[in-house]
């Protein structure tokens, strides 16, 4: 997104040197790119990008038909401060509204009502706004400046929208490229409006904005398809695609959370999800390998260029660290008549994992076969009493023979809640 923004500004500053045929073509580019972007948004059931694209397109249409950049008119003197004020407000609004897809009729009706109200507001401002109010919204930041042309109201609107959206990004728990793109879109549209009097700049920057939205949709769709939403690890599809670049030397570890079904049935699915996140976070710290969620309570670690025996110590570190991780489970009140939340009771729970690790050999040569081979080791680890590590390739199965320096293993990271009663 940063590279596209730099390209947009760089070319916009030298747009007067473009051939006339390019300038003619760029006038139509926003419509084509926005149409493609809108189609992709609707196809992926994303309403937010669609609204951003429609807003940018409407700004272009209003300027082209009512206040062309090459002509100085009364309409332009009113429309420019009005649209430059409303654009950041709209982009900010669309980014804050919840993503409910394109099939929610109530939500869509509300969006249409907002567009209609704004259209009526623009029409009223263009025809009925008193002169003194036009002077207020047209008040410049720098009087008679030849560099900065945005009004004070518009500048303040862009600044507040950018600040709040940046703050929202800092608290974002899941990667959404579109949320990052909207900040760059705000900056680019502020630049385009500031250079509005230069023919072709608004159309060129709007085209880049449309391309930015399309790319963010593609990246987000890829992330959703390849990443497990609960744990944040790459999923089964990403695991299968990673096989293509492994080569002939690698190790695969299959990991299963011990007694997870029983744990889930006892404490509930919310606690089960907490366990999966905790285990995934530790597995994601693996050195020399990559963690994937295989499915359910199973995980896979891929170690490119490693042998099974060479990764045993690292796997043992992960196994011990997970066994030391403390998870606090809220229990039922001892006194059923007490409704005070201050007397909550928590139980400390430890989770263990079983691991099977394997590498390619004459019998198991493909990654899919090696995974099954590692799964055999995982089965043996569970048969041996769980919380074990088995190297499938060894003729004599090794069960926790590797010594691990426990002082080097991270201790439990869970924080004990205030006023906790151990049970």
Question: Catalytic residue numbers?
Answer: 297
Q: Is 376 exposed, middle or buried (0-12, 13-18, 19+ CB in 10 A)?
A: middle
Instruction: Record the tokens describing residue 168, joined without a space.
Output: 């929202």
Token output for 153:
């109201």
What is d(CA 111, CA 108) in angstroms, rounded to the nearest whole number? Answer: 5
Q: Are 220 and 178 in contact (CB under 8 A)?
A: yes
C-alpha dist (Å) from residue 96 to 164, 168, 179: 10, 9, 10
Contacts of 107 (CB under 8 A, 6+ apart): 47, 100
């Amino acid at each position: 997104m940063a590279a596209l923004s730099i390209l947009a500004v760089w070319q916009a500053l030298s747009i007067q040197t473009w051939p006339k045929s390019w300038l003619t073509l760029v006038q139509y580019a926003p419509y084509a790119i926005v149409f493609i972007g809108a189609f992709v948004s609707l196809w992926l059931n994303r309403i937010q990008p669609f609204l951003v694209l429609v807003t940018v397109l409407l700004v272009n249409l209003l300027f082209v038909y009512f206040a062309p950049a090459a002509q100085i008119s009364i309409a332009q003197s009113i429309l420019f401060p009005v649209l430059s004020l409303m654009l950041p407000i709209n982009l900010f609004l669309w980014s804050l509204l919840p993503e409910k897809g394109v099939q929610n009729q109530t939500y869509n009706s509300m969006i249409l009502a907002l567009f209609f109200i704004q259209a009526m507001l623009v029409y009223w401002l263009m025809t009925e706004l008193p002169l003194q109010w036009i002077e207020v919204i047209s008040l410049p930041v720098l009087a008679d400046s030849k560099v900065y042309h945005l009004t004070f109201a518009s500048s303040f609107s862009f600044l507040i929208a950018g600040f709040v959206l940046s703050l929202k990004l800092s608290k974002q728990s899941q990667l959404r490229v579109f949320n990052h793109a909207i900040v760059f879109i705000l900056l680019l549209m502020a630049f385009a409006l500031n250079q509005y009097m230069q023919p072709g700049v608004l159309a060129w920057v709007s085209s880049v904005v449309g391309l930015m939205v399309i790319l963010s949709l593609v990246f987000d769709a890829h992330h959703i398809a390849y990443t497990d939403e609960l744990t944040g690890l790459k999923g089964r599809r990403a695991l299968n695609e990673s096989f293509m670049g492994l080569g002939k030397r690698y190790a695969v570890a299959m990991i299963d959370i011990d007694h997870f079904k029983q744990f889930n049935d006892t404490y509930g699915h919310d606690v089960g999800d907490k366990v999966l996140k905790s285990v995934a976070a530790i597995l994601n710290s693996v050195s020399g390998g990559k963690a994937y969620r295989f499915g359910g309570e199973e995980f896979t670690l891929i170690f490119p260029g490693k042998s099974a025996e060479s990764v045993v110590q690292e796997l043992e570190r992960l196994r011990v660290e997970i066994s030391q991780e403390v998870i606090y489970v809220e229990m039922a009140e001892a006194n059923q008549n007490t409704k005070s939340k201050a007397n909550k009771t928590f139980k400390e729970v430890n989770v263990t994992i079983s691991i099977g690790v394997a590498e390619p050999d004459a019998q198991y040569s493909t990654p899919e076969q090696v995974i099954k081979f590692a799964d055999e080791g995982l089965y043996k680890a569970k048969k041996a009493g769980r919380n074990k590590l088995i190297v499938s390739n060894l003729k004599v199965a090794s069960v926790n023979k590797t010594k691990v320096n426990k002082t080097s293993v991270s201790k439990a990271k869970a924080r004990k809640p205030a006023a906790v009663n151990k049970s």
